[in-house]
Structures are given as C-alpha cells and as structure tokens.
Structure 1
C-alpha cells in the first residue's frame, strides 16, 4: 500500500492494523516527526525570530506561514498530517496525535497544554487504529488544557473553554466548556 493510501485510510476512519507491513511506513514517519520535534524543543529561540521556521517546514512538509507561530515545546507525531492556516498562534506544550489529519484554519488561537487527537484504537484489537480527522475552523479560540477528541469539527468563531473535553462537533459562534463540553453561551 503506498504511503498516501495509508494516510487516506487513516483519515477516512478505516481500520488500520499496526501489525500490518504497510504500517511500517507510519512508524518511520512518526520517528522522523519525533526527531524534528526533539530538535524544535531543544533549540534556543526567541518567539519572534525565525530560528525554528526551517524545522517546522521539515516537520509539516510545508512552510509555516510567516504570520503563524507555534511555541515550543510541542509534540506532534505525524507532522505532515497537520495543516496550519494564516495568523495562527499555538502556545507551548501543545500535543497533536495527528495520524488521521488535523486542519487548523486562519486566525486560530490555541492555549497552552492543549491536546488534539485523531487517534483511537479498536476496543477488541487494540493494535488496530481507527482515526478520525479534526477540523478547527477560522477564528476559533481554544483555552488552556482543552482536549479535542477524534472526529471533532469546531465551527467558525467558537470558543472552547480551558479544560474542556470536546467529544462532538462544536457549532459556529458558541462558547463550550465542561466534560463533556456543552454549549455555555451563544455569541453575537
């Protein structure tokens, strides 16, 4: 199975066995992402300088827009499965388990200690991955310590309160919070 087919299966919630020979490519890709994130997390830098931009380009497989910033340390297991828009700010200690793909729209702010995961396992055979993509639409704000679970889409202009556990889609123009997250307020 070509690499692109593997990631297409993962992003379309098709079960993929971690024991299969095809999954070996994912293990190599994850190892490469870990090496690059290690370099990012151990490079002295100033938030406003461009020291880390070449490393983020290597990790993501494309240039990070000059208006976007990801603070270190960060932890991303499949960097090429993450797409980051313009004018995005991701604070320190963000963890992205991104085998199923993560898309972050323009003007998004993500607080410290946020976890975004696309990965889950079959309940019977835990060596089988079942991933679902996460989509964060334009102008979303995710507060500190929030957890975004597989398959979630967060609508435009939504706010996710700090510490929220987001288990299902968030409609546009709302504030959600709690565990599981629920609508606390409608905006506009």
Structure 2
C-alpha cells in the first residue's frame, strides 16, 4: 500500500507540473494536493483555485470557463464532476455547439466531502463542513455544517462535529 501511495503522489506531482505549465496562472494549487487515476482539469478561459490537503478519487474532473474555488481539506469520491458552465440551447435554429456557454462560479468551502458520482454545477456555493451524499446534483447554496442526503435533500439537523 505504501508503494501505491508513493506512486500516486509522484504521478500527481508530475501532472500538477504539467497543469501549471499548460494553464500557467489560470490555476492555483495548494500543498498536498493528490488525486488518483483519470483525474482531469481544464481551465478553458476560467480560473481554478484548489486549497491545501485536497484529494480527488478516481475519474474526477473539473472544467472551468468562469471560476471554481475549492478550499482546504476537502475530499472527493469517485466520478465527481464540477462544471461552472452549461451549453446554451435556446435557439432551435442553431446547433447547440455553436450557441456558446452560460458561465457562472462555484465555491466549495473547507473540510467538505463530496461522495461518489456527485455533480456540482454553476452557481453552487457549498459551505464549510458539508457532506454531499452519493449521486447528488448540486446547483444552489448549501449552508455550512449540513449534510445533503442521497435524495439530495438537506439533512434536518446540522452536523455536530463535537460529539
């Protein structure tokens, strides 16, 4: 297991270096940022800021045309997707790919866990200490210290980390 962790960290360092060369000042990545297989990052006109001690599991992706910020100590399950843009599709006389994008912003606070298959869309603002259950689609404000359940409803009780 130690060999795999060393391998993942070395692979992450090389990929981070590649991202910094390709995207230059469009991305900022904090210390101890790690990810597993098939992680992808695209700052296509946008800006991505990732804090310290952030981990992405297998098959996660981030695409920014606007701005995405992820604060410290967040962890992401497998297949998490984060998009701050949507295709426009209101003109039925034009191909969708020619209509451009509507662009927004995404903020993810400190110490959050987004479980497997979560999708975060433009306009999402996730507070600190938030847990998002598997399979949820998030596109609105989620207050700090809450849990979003599998059926994507806010939990009735705030999280008490002191228990």
TM-score by length of 2: 0.77
Whether the 8 Å contact between 2:113 and 2:131 is mirrored in structure 1 is yes
From the superposition, tell whether residues 186 and 46 of structure 1 become closer, same or farther in structure 2 (CA, over 3 Å).
same
In structure 2, the partner of 1:117 is: 83
CA RMSD across the alignment: 2.1
From the superposition, tell whether residues 165 and 63 of structure 1 become closer, same or farther in structure 2 (CA, over 3 Å).
closer
In structure 2, the partner of 1:95 is: 61
Task: Work out whether 1:176 is the aligned partner of 2:148.
Answer: yes
1:98-177 aligned within 5 A: 98-125=64-91, 126=96, 127-177=99-149
Cα distance in structure 1, aligned partners of 2:22 and 2:125: 23
1:71-90 aligned within 5 A: 71-78=36-43, 81-90=47-56
Whether the 8 Å contact between 2:38 and 2:60 is mirrored in structure 1 is yes
What count of residue pairs does the alignment treat as equivalent? 143
Whether the 8 Å contact between 2:39 and 2:56 is mirrored in structure 1 is no
The superposition leaves residues 33-69 of structure 1 with CA deviations (integer Å, 9 ceiling, x where unpaired) of xxxxxxxxxxxx8112233332132245356333111
Cα distance in structure 2, aligned partners of 1:133 and 1:74: 21
Cα distance in structure 2, aligned partners of 1:97 and 1:53: 15
Q: Which runs of 5+ in 2 are unaligned?
A: 1-5
In structure 1, the partner of 2:3 is: none
Helix, strand or coil for the counterpart of 2:66?
coil
Helix, strand or coil for the counterpart of 1:57?
helix
